[in-house]
A = this chain, B = another copy of it.
Amino acid sequence: MKRLDLIFSERELDQMLKSLEKAKVPGYTVTKHVTGRGPERVVSEDMEFTGLGANAHVIVFCDQALLEQIKIYIQPLLNYYGGVAYVSDAEQL
């Protein structure tokens, strides 16, 4: 199995989750109020203040086969709005 870590702006959370659902993921876990820095942007806590929102960190545990599918759905969002996606190995306990 695989573990997918997605980090992107909270403002796109709904859209991202919809895309994941379209890709038929078996489940996901969301941590909000996450901050960070990418190659271009710094996301700090005062972003929440202005309503921009901080980042969301989404974890998906799924089969390797599903990753391609997910990629198709979420790549446009990541390209348009920014954000990162990394994959690691994982197995059920």
Give A contacts to B, CB under 8 Å: 1, 3-5, 7, 26-39, 55, 57, 59, 61, 67, 70-71, 75, 84-93
Contact = CB atoms under 8 A, between A and B. Distances in A.
A93 B1 CA distance: 14
Copies in the complex: 3
Contacts of A26: 38-39
B90 A88 contact: yes
Contacts of A29: 7, 34-36, 55, 57
29 contacts: A3-B86, A3-B88, A4-B93, A5-B90, A7-B59, A26-B38, A26-B39, A27-B36, A27-B39, A27-B84, A28-B37, A29-B35, A29-B36, A29-B57, A30-B34, A30-B36, A31-B31, A31-B34, A31-B57, A32-B33, A61-B84, A70-B93, A84-B92, A86-B90, A86-B93, A87-B92, A87-B93, A88-B88, A88-B91
